[in-house]
Structure formats: C-alpha cells, structure tokens
Chain A
C-alpha cells in the first residue's frame, strides 16, 4: 500500500460519500498554537491523519550516491470507534520505504499497513515512537532512529543530533489551500546528519549522509478543487534549508503556494501564495504506467531560481492495482546558476489524473 502524503488525503476525502449511518467522529481542527517538544514529536491521535516522513541522500564506499525515503502514517478512519475489540481499527498505521538505487535504475520499495494495537503497531503519544511490527521510527536522546527490515533492503539509520525544529507557516500552522480549514501543523527537522547501515543487493553498506524530517498532522481533507500536489525539501549546501509546495487545480494551475527558507543562521523566511513560481523544465514518460512526469522543475522564490535535477528519471511508485495511487517521489539536486546548491527530495502527485483529461 503505497501512498503519497497528499494522495492519502484525497483518498480520505472519499469518506464522506460513504453512507452516513455511522456518524464521523468530531475530528479536532488544527489552529495556531505553541508547539512543545518532545511532546509534539509524538502522535496526535485525535486528528484524522498524521505522518512522519524522512528523506535524504546517502553515500557509502564503492557505490554511487543514492536516496532513501521512509514514511509512517497514522490514520484515524473514524469507523467502529465504539467497538471494544482490541483489533478495532481505531487507528491504522501505514508505512513505506523506498531506495532511489541507481544500480537498479528504478526505486526499490516496500510497504506495510496494519491496524494499531497489541503494542505491535502503534504511534506513541508524548514522544516520537512509531512502530509497525518490525518497522520502527523513534527518538532517542538528541537523535532519531529508524529500523526498516523491508525484505529487498534493510535500513538501520540514526538521524541527529537534531537542531531546533523548523516550524512552517505561523509557528507550525501551515495553510495548504484557500480557506482556513485547509491547514495542518507542520514541523521539519532539517540538515540531519545520517549514519548507520543499509543492506541492499546482498551488500551491507556503512552509510552516511544528510536527511530531511517532516512531521505533519491535520484533520482537513484535500481541497475540493485540488487535483495534485508538488513538494520539495532541500538541505542547502550552505547549511540552510528550503521547503516549497504547490497545490494544483484540475487545469494544472496553482491553487495555493507555500514555502519556508531557513538561512544558515537559523532565521526563517515564509513565502505566501503569490511568492513562488513552479515551472516544468523537462518531462519523462514512464513506460510502465504511461504517465508523463515533470521530473525536472524550476522553482523561483525571493528573487532566486533553483533547478531541481533528478538523481534518475525513473523514481515512480506505481501501486494503482492495489490502492489506485501512483506518484513520483525522488532524490533531486538543486542547481543554481550551474552550481549544485543543495540536495533533497521532490514529490509529484496527481499527474495520472491529468493524463485522463
């Protein structure tokens, strides 16, 4: 069950269409408030959806640089909440992990999903500790740790020490589309040093690198006019960090923009809907799905222009047969005036729908 983050929201959006016999629970809406850590690294189980999302670039002796992505979702489906069974699906945890492994010329990926319960599957309240059977992401001291025995590959990574959290929007209150109800609490930890081991292709690699960590929770659904979403998070080479996103409507035009630039000295600059421009530089058509992905993007903000150049073109995740979800989520380099200025991840969703139109 592979899902991109925003796509999950659009799937959840289908829920109100379900017969309204079981009244949906009152999901709390996010509103501006002071976040406190480590408590807010932990889960917010009353909300409809929450995710912990790690991406980054890794290097190891003897292999080309490669990207990784680890995501844990917690969903409150709001069904059968009165069921006293310990198996009752009060919360679902979905996790997936992918390696942008240049040797295979495509993503290696694996996913798990399960209902929370029995201590096997849970997202702890009070501090970050999310587990799904043998997959686990948790905080330990000043660092985060992830154990992902995914079968085809196995990750055992340390992230940290962490710096101060980067709070997007208004102190972590981040608007995603027109209307105050379309917002989330959104916190990032950026420039995370990575160490640990990756087992892939029969090799055990000692790796190091740099990661980006998003933690976001919300009760709102995808905006009814939204058709797709582009996101990027870049650890800049100067020690700064850049996050930009765009919500697109059915015609492909921007419905909303947002972004944050943190300078190396820690000062954050927030961008509103009118301050960012995305432009497609190059498209790549997937032979598997036939979808045309705008894999090379130019993003303009605050008088600067960055070219996002993918590590490889094929970083598509296609699971339409099982969940109907297909998206592109890959490692990218950020180029400014011909020089590499940083590295991070780019997420592209909703392009298969555009194809149908």
Chain B
C-alpha cells in the first residue's frame, strides 16, 4: 500500500510544474473566498461590538428617524409596565472644527445609563469634581479618540454644529468603549444644549424588570410610540448591519467560488492529461495486481493531496490578504458600508473551514473523471509498445446545452431568497456549464472556419488542434471559465459605470453645491443662512434640499427621505424617473429599491411617519437611485416643512447667472461663511462619486485578474503535460526537416488556437452571464437597474491579449520538450 502511495506521489513530483499550477489555482480560489469572508466578518464583528458596547445590557432600544424624536416620549415609556430602567440617549456625529473628521458623541443620562451600561462612563481626571460630569462644556473621549485626535484632558475641542462653532473642552477619558472605538461621552443635557438637540432624543434604551417582558407589555409600549419610531432589540441592529452588506459580500464570495471552479477545471485538465500519459504505467500496475479500486483511489488521492495542500495554503494566504485589505481599504473593502472603521483581523472559523473544504472538494471532483478513466482503461492495448495515448473523444451534448440554457433562463426569473439572488447564481452556474459543454462544438466550428487560412506552420497547428480536439477542449475549458467571469464582470461594471455617470449628470444639474461642514441631521443650514446665500450676487436660481431618514418598519433598514422643491414641470425635471403617472393629492416619488423592498408602485397609496404622525401620500413615480440601496423617497420640500416644521436644509444647489464666474461665487460664499461650508461643483462631485465607484470595484478587478491568471496556468499546464507526450512527434517533425523555430511557432499557434476556442466561448458565455448579473443579480441584491453597455474596445484588447498570452505560455511550456535532440526522439520510437 505504501509502495502504491509513493508511486502516485512520485508522479505528482515528476510533473512539478503542472502540480504547482494546480496547487496555486486551488490556493488562490480558497484564499480569495477566505479573504472576502474574513474581512467582512472583521468589519461586522467590529460594528456589532460597537453596538453592544453602546447598548450595554439593554433589552430593547426605541429608535426613530435620523433626526430623532420628541423627548416627551421618554416620560411616557419610563414608567411603562414591565420596564425597569429607561435611559435616554442622544447620538450626534459632530464635525470637529478645523479638521475634516467627525466624532460620534453619545449623550447619556449617567444616573440612568449606569444601570444599563455600567462601564460606559467618564473617568474623572485628577483635580476634578463629580459635578464635572454635568458640566455642559466637557466632553469625555474614548481612549482611541483621545489618541487619534492627539488630545489630552483640558484641551479645547471646538465642534462645528451647523454653521456655529461650539467650544468644548476635553474633560478626560471615557471608559467602557471598545479598544478601537472612536467616540465621546457627554451629559445628555449638555449634549442637547450644546449640540443643538434641545427637545430631541436619538434613542431610549430599555431594560425589563424581572418577569416584565410580556407580549402585553411590549404591545403597551408599542402603543406609546409615535409613527416612525420603533422598538428594536440591539441584536436586531447588528442583523441589519449584516443585511446591509450581505449582498455585496455574497457577490464577492460568488466571484471567489467561480475562481475556485476555474481551479477545479485546471486540476481536471492536468489530471486528465497526466492520466492519459500514464496509461501504460497504470496498465502495468493493473497487470501486477493493483485493483481498479486502488487505481481510482490513487488518482483521487493525488487530487485530494493537491486540494488539501492548496486549501491550507489558501486559508493562510486568505488571512494574509485580509489583513492587507483591512489596512489598505477598510472593513468594507472600500464599498462604504462601514465608513471610517479600521477593524482588527477577526478569525472566521466557519468560512475558513468551508473554503478549505470547497478547495478540497474542487480538487477531488476535478480528479474524479480522470480517475474513473484510468481505472476503466483496458489493460492489453496500453501495454503494447507504440501505444499512443490520447484522451477519450468528448461527446457533443447538444441537448444538454439546450437544457442548461433553458434552465438558466428559467432560474433567472425566480424571486430572491432571503434578499439574495439565489436563482441568479444558479442561472450563472447553468450558463457556465452550458458554455463548457458547447466547447467541442465551438472548437469544431472554429477550426472549420480557419481551414482556408494559408501557412505551413499554422496549418500544422490547426490540424493538430482539430485532430486532438479532446486535448484542446480540456485546455480551453479553464480559459473559458476565467474569460467568462472576466467578460461578464467587465460588461456589468461598464454598464453600471455608464449608468451611474448618466445618473449623476441628471441628479447634479446645478453649477455649484453648498453643504454645511457640520454634517449629520443637526448639521444643516438654517433659513437665515439660506437667505444669506440667496442674497449673494450672480445666482440665477437656487434649490434647497433636506435629507432625512425614516423607519417605515421596525425590522427594515432606514429609508432615505429627500425633500426638495418639485417644479411645476413634475418630479421628472429634477430626478431621473423610470416610471411616472399623474396622481391626485400629495405625491411622493420612490426609488427602485422601494418597489422591490416594499412593493410600492406608481399609484400606491402609502402612509409616511412625518413629524410624529402618519400622513397619506400617493406614489407618483419611480426613479433610479444608485446611492441608497435600502430605498429612498422624494418629497416636495414645502410639503415636508409644513408637516414636520423642520426648516433646516442640508444642500443648496446654485445655478450661475450667465457671465458669472464659478470662482467669483465661490469667493463670495467663502467670504460669507468661511470654512463652515463645503462647496463643490457638479463636476467635482461627479468625479468624487466615480472615484468612489471605481474603488468599490477595485476588489472585483483583483478577483478577475486572479481568475484570468488561473486560466492561463491551465494552458501552460496542458501544454507542459502534452509536450512530454509529444516528444516522438517533435522528433519526427525535426527528422523530416522542420526547424526547431518552426516547432516553437507551431506550439505557439496551437496555444493561440486553443485559447481562441476558450476565449470565443468565454466571450459568448460571459455576455450571457452579464445579462443575468445586470438584470437579476444586481437588481435583486442592490435594487438598482442599469442600461446594458458593452465595452467592445476593451473586450477586444483583452481577448487578443489573452490569446497572445496563451501562445507565449504554450511556447514556453513546450520549450523543454523541444530541447530534446531529434535523434534521441526518433530512437525512442524504435
């Protein structure tokens, strides 16, 4: 048995190059999957821990829209049946004056919060008294914030609240925050007063009395809540954060799985070729008494070993990649879900084990067909001298291809499962399988088309590829998978980017945009500030915009509310409407995500919680939105103000009078407001948005590059394996006068032809997959639609580059075989 194992091990060692490539492919696939999962786990753990630190032992939290809710609610719930402690909380993301940075300030009633979050409290510095806890000028910083901001107790800490600068001081450290958490504590009254939150609360944390948590108590509590304010368990908020990034994570994981599938194909290709080459060897072993079963186990064992080693290395590499990505891109890989977080690496045992197993399974499955072939091979012919091993001919499964295409099309129409486009993913798998099954047909067709082309060497190569189509198909398979992945992603990203670009042009029609530097709900511009802007010279027209967030359901994520003046010409004049209908009564216009998530359509009558009461609206249209995947609602500003009394605005859009220079108005704005506002032109904002977009997709580019690399490995590995088997053929060619250079050129042509088969199939398959990605996967994951757009130029360059790279890979892989001299090669034949 040990002898048998050593025989198979020796075989792996003999074809070091192919083995290493297979190993590398499995390693990369596993590493990518692990890295994506670990990075996300780290970010989520960080977020969850942050939520848990702030929530303490709270059983429930009362949460409303972003601007919070009326503090009177506190008096109504504090003594509700079953409630032991109710702790009111203010949370403000305040901008630090003079720094381009915000700080989360938590205002607590310490006498109450100490019973829910006992650890979360200021640590009084030496020489300060207890009553400093109530000092309206003092802020207590978490250790991370203290360090990051380079502050010490007693230092001034000016904040920008709206257009005003509020001068606070650092009172000392705040205990109880997570090690990396940047945040600060204040007395709740001080926070309400100094941070412009009088009368408002962001949250109320509740703890039940023993036995107080009954359905009746919960219902009674719910009855007290105004519309738009909900009762949530802290764990639910963690789940919401998880849900927010779930689709993004799932899509990245899917790319990793495709990379792994490509790796499996590579294992398949090299194992098949190796098994074919060892046919005589296997026959001899069978003749010496090795059973079919042992042979099967041996070949499978080779695959298992590659899978295991690749898997382990992949997990290690994955953590390495994840650590690198966390440092470089942050916890959301640059996608913006966990802005500002720089989480530490967390171990993700589940994902590590799952991808290790997937890598192992991919490699074993890749070896299955070759192993079966090896075990079933007839012994006698293979033992005969002069046996020329060739892979079995691959049957063309027209019906299978058609069935897979139909299945894919059907699956694409399935609704999402738990917010994930499961049908879409399966459709992608079907299309990929259909592409692989149709490879022989494509190979046959392509070779027929190329037949009339002249040239001796090319002709030799073409004849060889056409004659040994099974070899070609196996090598092209890896190329197909990687090209299909790259092409589909390229088309999807290009479509997305073009659509976003066009969308930005529609939603940013003005010349200049002004926003108060103190961001967040309370950081708006007041009416007087708006009037001061309006009075500046050179303004032809201005629009004011207010951003708010509503909670329509307790279990849903907050929905963005955009209030801006709706012109008489209709909402279509300000937003890119996809559907519109004239409605009677108060109208709102919703983003596509609202259609998917809430089932609202034009004409639907809905109720929105505004200003603490429910108001009836009719959906007047649906617009395209790439900014908010949890949904957004557009409402007329005047109507919003009448219902809420909220007179602040976040953005002011300015149109210049003809002949007014952009710079002149900027100077006037700076003169009036100093550094308290941010000014951006439509072009600047668009550039920033597109840069953000490109950063988001940077990770997918990396995944594609890996897949393409694995595909090229496939070509190189196949040719390296074949080259050895073809020594006799090369020797014969040299014998009849073909030069070494010509053999090299022939090999390069063969590589190019095999790649061309894969690339052509890959282009077709990728185009089909991109349709699924754009109309199913993206729509169901992120709830946005886009216009199909093919980057033909880039794809053409990519295809040619791929073919050229394959030619080089084939040439290099065959170089070794060509070094043999003709005499020995022919003698071998004798």
Contact = CB atoms under 8 A, between A and B. Distances in A.
B198 A18 contact: no
Nearest to A78: B131
Contacts of B127: 17
Contact of B79 (A21, A80, A84, A134): A134
Nearest to B85: A133
Nearest to B118: A322
Interface in B172-217: 187-190, 192-193, 198-199
Nearest to A114: B111
B129 A83 contact: no
A22 B138 CA distance: 12
A95 to B, nearest CB: 12
Given A22-B135, A85-B192, A89-B134, A118 B75 contact: yes
A84 B198 contact: yes
A84 B193 contact: yes
A115 interface: yes
B111 A15 contact: no
A114 B75 contact: no
B88 A87 contact: yes
Contacts of A115: 109, 111, 189
A45 interface: no
B212 to A, nearest CB: 12
A337 B34 CA distance: 86
Contacts of B112: 114
Contact of A83 (B74, B111, B131, B189): B189
A18 B111 contact: no
B71 interface: yes
A79 B75 contact: no
B136 interface: yes
Contact of B134 (A79, A113, A114, A120): A79
Nearest to A323: B130
Interface in A15-39: 15, 17-19, 21-22
B663 interface: no
Given A113-B111, A114-B111, A77 B134 contact: yes
Chain A contact residues, majority secondary structure? loop
A9 to B, nearest CB: 14
Given A79-B135, A80-B136, A83-B136, A92 B79 contact: no
A89 B79 contact: no
B545 interface: no
Contacts of B129: 14-15, 17-18
A89 B79 CA distance: 20
Interface in B74-97: 74-75, 78-79, 88
A86 interface: yes
A202 interface: no
A275 B316 CA distance: 85
Interface residues of A, number: 28
A187 B71 CA distance: 38
A88 interface: yes
B829 interface: no
B607 interface: no
Given A114-B112, A120-B78, A85 B193 contact: yes
B190 A83 contact: yes
Given A118-B74, A120-B75, A88 B130 contact: no
A22 B193 CA distance: 16
Given A80-B134, A80-B135, A113-B111, A88 B128 contact: no
Contact of A89 (B71, B74, B88, B187): B187
A121 B85 CA distance: 13
Nearest to B198: A85
Nearest to A87: B189
A80 B192 CA distance: 12
A134 B80 CA distance: 10
Contacts of A120: 75, 78-79
A118 B134 CA distance: 18
B189 A80 contact: yes
Interface in B105-136: 109, 111-112, 127-132, 134-136
A88 to B, nearest CB: 4
A87 B128 contact: no
Contacts of A83: 136, 189-190, 193
Nearest to B107: A87
A325 to B, nearest CB: 12
Contacts of A354: none
Contacts of A77: 131, 134
B16 to A, nearest CB: 68
Interface in B13-68: none
A92 B71 CA distance: 19
A292 interface: no
Interface string A59-88: 000000000000000000111100111111
A113 to B, nearest CB: 5
Contacts of A85: 188-190, 192-193, 198
A119 interface: yes
B96 to A, nearest CB: 22
B701 to A, nearest CB: 51
A20 to B, nearest CB: 11
Contacts of A86: 71, 189, 199
A17 B129 CA distance: 7
A208 B193 CA distance: 49
Contacts of B137: 21
Nearest to A113: B111
A237 interface: no
A19 B188 CA distance: 21
A11 interface: yes
Contacts of A14: 129-130
B131 A79 contact: yes
A24 to B, nearest CB: 10
A21 B137 CA distance: 10
Contact of B192 (A87, A114, A118): A87
Contacts of A78: 131
A158 B99 CA distance: 61
B564 to A, nearest CB: 32
A117 to B, nearest CB: 9
B583 to A, nearest CB: 41
Contact of B78 (A21, A80, A88, A118): A118
Contacts of B135: 22, 79-80
A133 B71 contact: no
Give the one of A18, A80, A92, A134 with max B CB within 10 A. A80
A18 B188 CA distance: 21
Contacts of A88: 189, 193
B128 A18 contact: yes
Contacts of A119: 75
Contacts of B199: 86
Interface string A112-131: 01110011100000000000
A92 B127 CA distance: 23
A133 B78 contact: yes
Nearest to A149: B209
A120 B111 CA distance: 14
Nearest to A18: B129
A133 B109 CA distance: 14
A77 B189 CA distance: 14
Given A80-B136, A115-B109, A133-B78, A15 B131 contact: yes
Contact of B190 (A17, A21, A80, A113): A80
Closest A-B pairs by Cβ, 8 of them: A18-B129, A87-B189, A118-B75, A85-B189, A85-B192, A88-B189, A80-B136, A79-B131
5 contacts: A15-B131, A17-B129, A89-B189, A120-B75, A134-B79
Given A18-B128, A88-B193, 11 more contacts: A17-B129, A18-B131, A21-B137, A79-B131, A80-B190, A83-B190, A85-B198, A87-B71, A87-B109, A118-B75, A133-B78
Interface of B: 71-72, 74-75, 78-79, 88, 109, 111-112, 127-132, 134-137, 187-190, 192-193, 198-199
